[in-house]
Structure 1
Amino acid sequence: MYVADDWKDYEVMDTGNGEKLERWGDVILRRPDPQIIWPIESEDKRWREVHGHYHRSSSGGGQWEMKKQIPDRWTVSYDRLKFYIRPTNFKHTGLFPEQAANWRWMMDKIAAAGRPISVLNLFAYTGGASVAAASAGASVVHVDAAKGMVQWAKENLALSGLGDRPVRFITDDVFKFVQREQRRGNRYDAIIMDPPSYGRGPGGEMWKLEQSLYPFVESCLSILSDTPLFFLINSYTTGISPTVLHNMLSMTVKRRFGGRISAGELGLPITVSGLHLPCGILGRWEE
């Protein structure tokens, strides 16, 4: 497991009964998590005296119950990076803190490369990986189909004091964007992707990760440079094993460029129990 255990502004305080108790800076939130199928060992006052509690609805979705006043958004820091946090209607906060394990890895890889590195971040959300790569000196192209998420990512970059770095923010369908980059002959030293389980393209094309991910990864080979640095796939799709990502990268990127692959779970430490909370999977190829 790749554990993001060096946070100061974020903490999984406790877990149980399908929920996690989290500290985001000074704000305490209680949110559901389907991986937590064990009981709360001691539901003390910390569980009750939270700022916000997201309740799932039996009919799907859910809503926040705000018990204490909080800002519309606030800031958390990771190393020299800063991010805006805001509870959304879909229980999320705009940041997946377990991804810090990937940010640290890619920052180290880029800083040690000894050459200019261009990074393409696909399904890039609010830009955690884009900010991390830019902070390490890479030029970045950030692509996401959701205009609001792209704007949030721009604000995160500026908040981190990196607004002058060579980062292009593009609101577009990632599949169409990759096809255009192929025609233009543009190439990248590193590709990051965090594809959804399901989705639809601009022409109504159905994306289902189990059927669509392999051909998409294969199509991205043509926009890698002759000496790529890394290729990172994240997945939160239930039932997909890290070995699936390992095999996929072996059959595509490693087959063409050699290098080495690692894969596993992402996780966060749980303060009370000393255990780790599983938070999705990753597959990494590196030169």
Structure 2
Amino acid sequence: MLLLADQWKDYELIDMGNGEKLERWGNYVLRRPDPQVVWPMEAEWSLWKNPHGHYHRSNKGGGQWEHKKKYPEQWTISYKDLKFHIKPTGFKHTGLFPEQAANWEWSMDKIRNAKRPIKVLNLFAYTGGATVACAAAGAAEVCHVDASKGMTTQAKENIKLSGLEDRKVRFIVDDVVKFVEREIRRGNKYDAIIMDPPSYGRGPKGEVWQIEEKLFDFVNLCMKVLSDKPLFFLINSYTTGFSPIVLENVLQTTIGKKVKGGKIYGGELGIPASRDGKILPCGIFGRWESK
């Protein structure tokens, strides 16, 4: 299954080639590397040569932005009624993964059609794209958990930008495993769980996360905070070499054994380029949803 994030107006994947992509974020054009773009550039036309910012990788790791035209340190873009701050970082990222709009749409649709209050747990929640989407869809509560204080601060800003300050959203800066273990002891339960685990990472106190070693055990741990009437469970991954079938199998051997009924499936996320319609692959997902 391939799901396309093709309903954006403030974001556009313009073109791709030679390991780079050319994107419009609102009024500003950025040129960034992408390891999935292994085909050649057909022509380095004017916008390729003169974007607002061009991120150059360093041979020593990391990289830096070349500012070719003036643009702000931060600006706002919209996805329908949702609003987000864009902040280009020294690690090439902008603070938002636009392909996730396909998952936002699905999550929002599930929450709106549930006809009951839904509590959502968003783990490895980054700058809160899914948090904003679920809050906007009318979730009774969203618990946003990420180990980065800076990313969590930006998530709070995104909630305010979208006019959702009145919604019940808890922001937690913590190691996700330790947080879930505490929620188990407290007896707290959630109807929907979203997670976007990194390939490798460290918690605020140096806790090591390696997805191949930790993912199954963590998803299995999350079964203990799942309500008796769960709505959905979503896993995103950008880990190179992982197949959607891996995520399907993890869900099958955890929630598939715990909850009778439901549907499990996986697939890829992609964004079409406006110049020629080529699809940029942008990670994978696995989903369990109630019937």
Conserved 8 A contact 2:53-2:69: yes
Q: CA RMSD in A?
A: 0.9
TM-score (norm 2): 0.97
**Structure 1 residues 139-174: Cα deviation after superposition (integer angstroms, max 9, x where no partner):** 100011111111100000000000110001111111
1:206 & 1:158 partners in 2: Cα distance? 32
Given candidates 149, 155, 161, the residue that maps to 2:157 is: 155
Shift of 1:204: 4.3
2:36 & 2:180 partners in 1: Cα distance? 33
Amino acid at match of 1:251: T
Amino acid at match of 1:215: D
Partner of 1:271: 274
Q: Which residues of structure 2 form unaligned runs of 5+?
A: none
Amino acid at match of 1:70: Y
1:247 & 1:121 partners in 2: Cα distance? 21
Shift of 1:48: 0.9
Partner of 2:249: 247
Partner of 1:198: 200
- In the alignment of these two chains, the number of paired residues is 287
Partner of 2:7: 6
2:265 & 2:279 partners in 1: Cα distance? 20
Amino acid at match of 1:12: L
1:24 & 1:204 partners in 2: Cα distance? 34
Shift of 1:272: 1.2
Conserved 8 A contact 2:175-2:203: yes
Matched, 1:35 2:36: yes
Partner of 2:98: 97
Matches within 5 A, 1:99-248: 99-138=100-139, 139-201=141-203, 204-248=206-250
TM-score (norm 1): 0.98
Secondary structure in 2 matching 1:20: strand
1:254 & 1:68 partners in 2: Cα distance? 52
Shift of 1:106: 0.3
Conserved 8 A contact 2:147-2:175: yes
1:126 & 1:203 partners in 2: Cα distance? 20
Matches within 5 A, 1:54-69: 54-69=55-70
Conserved 8 A contact 2:51-2:68: yes
Q: Which residues of structure 1 form unaligned runs of 5+?
A: none
2:61 & 2:203 partners in 1: Cα distance? 24
Secondary structure in 1 matching 2:230: coil
2:203 & 2:137 partners in 1: Cα distance? 32
Partner of 1:280: 283
Secondary structure in 2 matching 1:37: coil
Secondary structure in 2 matching 1:40: coil
Shift of 1:199: 2.0
Conserved 8 A contact 2:271-2:280: yes
**Structure 1 residues 8-58: Cα deviation after superposition (integer angstroms, max 9, x where no partner):** 000100000000000001100000000000011121001012000000011
2:63 & 2:115 partners in 1: Cα distance? 48
Secondary structure in 2 matching 1:227: coil
Partner of 2:54: 53
1:136 & 1:175 partners in 2: Cα distance? 27
Shift of 1:262: 1.6
Amino acid at match of 1:243: I
Shift of 1:200: 3.0
Partner of 2:262: 259
Secondary structure in 2 matching 1:168: strand
1:227 & 1:42 partners in 2: Cα distance? 54
**Structure 1 residues 255-281: Cα deviation after superposition (integer angstroms, max 9, x where no partner):** 211300120111101111211100010
2:151 & 2:26 partners in 1: Cα distance? 21
2:230 & 2:171 partners in 1: Cα distance? 22
